[in-house]
Structures are given as structure tokens and as C-alpha cells.
Chains A and B, each alone.
Chain A
């Protein structure tokens, strides 16, 4: 089944052509124009809401997939969560295409894509992985931190999520507090690795005492800010790596411990990790160790680009929806839902 998928929820205008679980082509606007995010022309936010690129990206994706657009069986599009004005761009294009080609339009929740990103295959059908429910999903990105149970396809139960800041956002802000620009995640990871991820400052691991599986990173951010404020410039310079490392540990240890609690609580030992922060090697190693101690299995996005926002994972979810008898409503009823929750995922 061949699907063209569009994701404009965030940084990138991204379009993919997929065939079942295989990705035939995947194109991002920034790839086409600059390879590096720093282009010096289009500011980040402008890019998010950019209408001019969508046609270009769609055409390139079709061309690279080496199929004719009349072979497409459906169009898939992210309807949320994300920035309203950016989501609209993708939804409008998807509607136009579905109309033009007379094929169904499948609305997708962006976070479902991240949950399924371990199952996305390349053009040759690798890696081959059978679905073996139930899974415990851990979503960690700039906008989300969530623990989810997948009992079967497309059925989600949220065990806990962040009450304020997302993990990726907290890392970005910590980097800003110690003087680095955006993006902060890779900088923090690098600084931390230089002191072997030592936890010298033992920042509070938020909500770790509580029995529930909620996250909160806002208070941690404040206590980090106060620690840094209490130091003079010389001391900050000297302690920079330890500060970054201790902060990162507080976040990752919290996520690890909450995931561990979730494994104990649900008895589910197969863990799916998704979202931008899952590219962090320290997080991967902490989570791997914990899951192996629990004699479970852990799955990360199958290719590096799948950690980040991308349309390929959206196409894969659309395929699974169609396979599971998704009935589509009228095109008119499909609209953006900027704060879409996994629970509102349309079956």
C-alpha cells in the first residue's frame, strides 16, 4: 500500500512516500535547501510556517520514490500536536492532493509516529521486526515527555506525562542558562561526556518520590538556575561540565526510574523509545542498562533521522490504521488540533 505522508508540525516541512512499512523516499525542506539548519536566510520559526516549500518538497519526495503519484493509495497528514499555523500548511496540501487524486486522507497524531518509529523500514525492508504487543512507549522530545502503554495497534493508555516542561526543552534551557545558544541538547551531552556523566551536584530528581508516573522538570530548571546564580563566572567556567552533566543526569535518571516503575506496575518489559532526545547516547545507555536488568527488550528508532520529526513515521502509522479498518470521514471534518493528545487518536 503506497502512501504519501506530510508532517509540518514543527521545525521541518517533511514529506515521505511509504509502501507498507517501507520508506521509499523521505524529504525535508532543510535538506533540499541547505543541509544545515543554518542558512542565514529563513529564521527557524518562519521555516515552520513556510507555505512556499510544501509543493517543492512534495514533488521531490514523489520523484525520489520512483513511483507515479497515481499509484498512491492514500495521503496521510499530521493534524497535531504542534504549531497551529504550521499544521495548517500541511493539512491544506494534503486535502488538495486527496481531492485531486480521489484517494482517502488519513489524519495522524504526530506522537503516534514517534511511538512506531522503531518499526519503520528502509526501502529494502530492513530491519524486519514483528509486532509483539503489549509495549511500553517512552516519548522524549522537545515538546513531550510521556509514558504510554500500547496494548494493541493504535490503542494507547497514557501512564504519565510532563506537567510543565518537556525533557528536551529543559535541556535546551539549561544550556541557555550556562551561556550556550540553541540547540542545547547536543551541547549538554557533549559537556557531560567529558566528565563521564558524573552527578556531582545531585540536583533534585523531580517527582521521583511520588508513586504516580507524572514528570515535572520546571522545578529542576529553577534549582539549576539558582545553583548557577550562586557561582561567580570563574567557578561556572571551572564547573561547566559537572553542571551540565549533573543536570542531564537528573533528567535521564528520572525518566529511567519512572520507566522502571512503569515496567513494574504494568509487567510490560518491551520498551519503545521515541522522540528527539532518544538520539542522546547517555540516555540510551541508561535505559538499555535498566531494561536489561529487568530482562526486557528495548527498541530505538530504526534509523537516526527517525528520532527527529519526520513524515516517514506518519506514513507508517497511516498504513497500520488502514490495515486496522480505519474509516475516514469527510475531508471537511479534518482540522488541526494543536494540543492533540494520544487519547484523541482517531481509530
Chain B
């Protein structure tokens, strides 16, 4: 039988006592939070967590975050360094879910398939005091059935709930209508899981080294790389892998490469991962200092360059936001590895296993840019050896 109690200004302690008892007995509780109504069970109780998962119709392997009551819980439940904790203190408590690798101190089924766990430290006394009293975290998932919107009032929640679900709830704590705050923002600090290329993975020959003292010079070096190689290699795509820290000028280098094809609207593709440009059949005049850049002229080009869509593409990719190797399968980058196409990849060190395919299918250059001061950069260009 579901018990409903009201939470008001004067009865917090009593509500917490009742809720704690219910949770300790493996109960499922609907409880208010700083965002939406949440579904709470004891995160260390196997049966209680299973009950919750059944209730939510949650597919196995989909993660559920947990409520904690203080900052030190983050190092108790997550693999996380002390400097990260200090950082987190600046935004917590608040409407954020922090995701990192789990220390497996709560039920395994709350973790993601990648063994990460999400922690919530809300700025909301009824939750904080409850967890403190209970002495362990509870689940912090929104009180709704899988596939439905979260709820801000008990009435709307009950309206949606079929009888078969209602009987699974042991206790409802009704705090009235909650302010319509959005569910929390998830911040993943688990770190990069993509395979980072090491020097040893790439066998290179022919090292060229330059110093660039301005964005313009970086562009010119980019222009040099493509102009001295594009027409020489009609049988394969050209790929240029850019490796360098934030702010070294990778996008500037790309801009220089693109200018060779008369493409002058290069902006950072970080947000969408890659932008596709057409390599014009008749090259347009580049608007900026045209005399200083080598230009591709299609008259000297080769008919082999024309393909199914009758267009050659210039791909400007930026792997900054890529977090898992699996994501490459969905990106379709390999479909661009056709003769006449040019692929420029920022944060190319994250290419992982894809580097082998690129090395096989393209004429590949690795360009490394390093800071030599705020304006000056060292740029090394290496050609990857052919895979045998």
C-alpha cells in the first residue's frame, strides 16, 4: 500500500525519519528535489535497485545517478583526483550530475556500460538531510516511466501511473508543485576514452620543419603542403592530420589548405565534428590576398577526380569532442577516402584505430604544431609511410 505524506515547513525531521525507514527496508520512494520529483531507493540494496529498474522499464545497462550529501562523497564513490574535487566545489551543490569512473561501491546496475557513475549533490535540504541520516546514497532518477516527461507535481505523476506501477511505490513525499527547474546538466569528467596515437604508431619519413610567427604564415604553410601534393596524387585522397594543443592555429592551417581550392569560409567544426565543402570545378578567386596563395586550377586537374556525386569534397574534421572509439563508426569519415577528396583532421591524435585505414587509403601527412610563445609556433610536417 502506498503511503503519502506531505512535506511542509515544520515537519522535515519527521518526513526524513519515515523516509529513511522506508528506504532501509528496501522501499521505493517518490521524493521532491531541486529539479523534478525523484525516485529514491537505497543504492546499495540489490533488490531495491532491481525494483526501481523494473518500475522505470529501464533497459539493462542504462545508468542511473545517485544523490550524495557532501563533497567528500565524490572521492568515495568515483575515481577522481583531488584537484577535480576542488574544481567541483565551485559548482556544487547545484543542478549538475557529475559522471566519472565508478569505484563500484553501489549496485553495479546503476553504472553505465562503461563503468561510469553519475553523482548529484543538489542544493536542497530535504535531500541532503535525508542522505545524511540514511548514511548512504539513494538513486536520483526522475519519477516517471521510461519514455515519459518528468513530473513537477504528485498529481501529474499519479495521473500517468498505471495501477500495476502504483503498487510498487511504498512512499510518496508530497512537497506540492515544484518550481519548473530543468533536469540537471550532466558533466562528464571521466576523461578521454579514445585511443590516443603515440609516436611509435606512425612510421614517418621526410620531416620538414617550419617556424610560423603569425596566423597568416601558418596559413601559407598549409597552402604549401596541399599545393605541392594535390595534383601529384590523383589516385588517392589526401589526408592531413593536425596535432596540436588548443590555440596553436590548427584551424588557421586548415584555412590555408582550403584557400588552395578557393574555399574561404572555413570556421571551426568542433561543434558538429566535421564540415563538408565542395571542391569547386572552376576555382573561385580567394578574397584574401589572392596573389600570395597557390591556387588549384581544374584545367590541369584530372578527370579521375570526378566521382559518383560528381563532386570532390574537402572535409574539415575536428575530433575535439570525440570521447569514444565507437563514435567513429557512426561518423562515416571513411566514405570520404576517395581520390580527389581532401581530409583535414584536427585533433588527429584521437584517430585511434582509424589511422590504419587512413594510412592505407590516402596519401597522409602528419602536421604537428607546438607553441613557441604566444605568437610563435613550430610546425613539423611528416609524410606517413605506405602500409605494406
Contacts and interface: CB of A to CB of B under 8 A. Distances in A.
A83 B273 contact: yes
Interface stretch (A39-47, A128-136, A255-263, A311-319): A39-47
A84 B315 CA distance: 10
A2 interface: no
A143 to B, nearest CB: 4
Contacts of A48: 273, 330
Contact of B113 (A41, A176, A187): A41
Interface in A209-225: 218, 221-223, 225
B185 A186 contact: yes
A194 to B, nearest CB: 7
A164 B330 contact: no
Interface in B101-116: 111-114, 116
A190 interface: yes
Given A33-B147, A49-B331, A241-B90, A164 B275 contact: no
Contacts of B331: 45, 49, 85
A177 interface: yes
A187 B271 CA distance: 17
Interface string B111-124: 11110101000000
Given A45-B331, A50-B330, A339-B265, A169 B271 contact: yes
Contacts of A190: 90-91, 94, 96
A31 interface: yes
Interface string A20-37: 000000000001111111
A237 interface: yes
A109 B233 CA distance: 36
Interface in B58-86: 59, 61-63, 65, 83-84, 86
A35 B97 CA distance: 13
Given A46-B330, A83-B273, A225-B247, A181 B113 contact: no
Interface string B187-205: 1111000000000000000
B112 A173 contact: no
B116 A182 contact: no
User: Which residue, A39, A84, A341, has most C-beta atoms of chain B within 10 A?
Assistant: A84
Contacts of A168: 271
Contacts of B90: 190-191, 194, 240-241
A34 B273 CA distance: 23
User: Which residue, B91, B99, B113, B183, has most C-beta atoms of chain A within 10 A?
Assistant: B91
Contact of B246 (A9, A49, A173, A180): A173
A142 interface: yes
Chain B interface main SS type: loop
Interface size class of A (residues with CB under 8 A): 35 or more
Interface stretch (B24-32, B152-160, B320-328, B355-363): B320-328
B270 interface: yes
A304 B330 contact: no
Interface string B254-276: 00000000000101101111111
B147 A166 contact: no
B150 interface: yes
Contacts of A338: 272, 275-277
A45 B322 contact: yes
A224 to B, nearest CB: 8
B323 A43 contact: yes
B183 A36 contact: yes
B268 A218 contact: yes
A65 to B, nearest CB: 15
B246 A166 contact: no
Contacts of A91: none
Contacts of A10: 271-272
Contact of B83 (A173, A179, A221, A304): A179
A182 B97 contact: no
Interface string B13-24: 000000000000
Interface string A234-253: 00010011000000000000
A266 interface: no
A125 interface: no
A161 B329 CA distance: 32
Nearest to B114: A40
B332 interface: yes
A181 B274 contact: no
Nearest to B92: A190
Contacts of A178: 87
Contacts of B320: 173
Interface string A68-89: 0000000000000111110000
A38 B332 contact: no
Interface string B284-307: 000000000000000000000000
Contacts of B275: 81, 84, 338-339
A127 interface: no
Contacts of A223: 374
Contact of A143 (B62, B84, B271, B322): B271
B368 to A, nearest CB: 18
A188 to B, nearest CB: 10
A165 interface: yes
B184 interface: yes
Nearest to B263: A339
B386 interface: no
Given A237-B86, A241-B90, A45 B185 contact: no
B182 interface: yes
Given A38-B99, A48-B330, A186-B96, A179 B270 contact: no
A222 B271 contact: no
User: Which residue, A85, A161, A162, A166, has most C-beta atoms of chain B within 10 A?
Assistant: A85
Closest 7 CB pairs of A and B: A40-B112, A222-B247, A40-B63, A142-B271, A143-B271, A45-B327, A38-B186
8 contacts: A35-B149, A36-B97, A36-B183, A48-B273, A142-B270, A191-B90, A221-B246, A237-B87
Given A40-B111, A181-B190, A226-B374, 15 more contacts: A34-B62, A38-B63, A41-B59, A41-B113, A44-B321, A83-B272, A84-B275, A84-B276, A164-B267, A165-B268, A176-B246, A183-B187, A186-B185, A221-B246, A338-B275
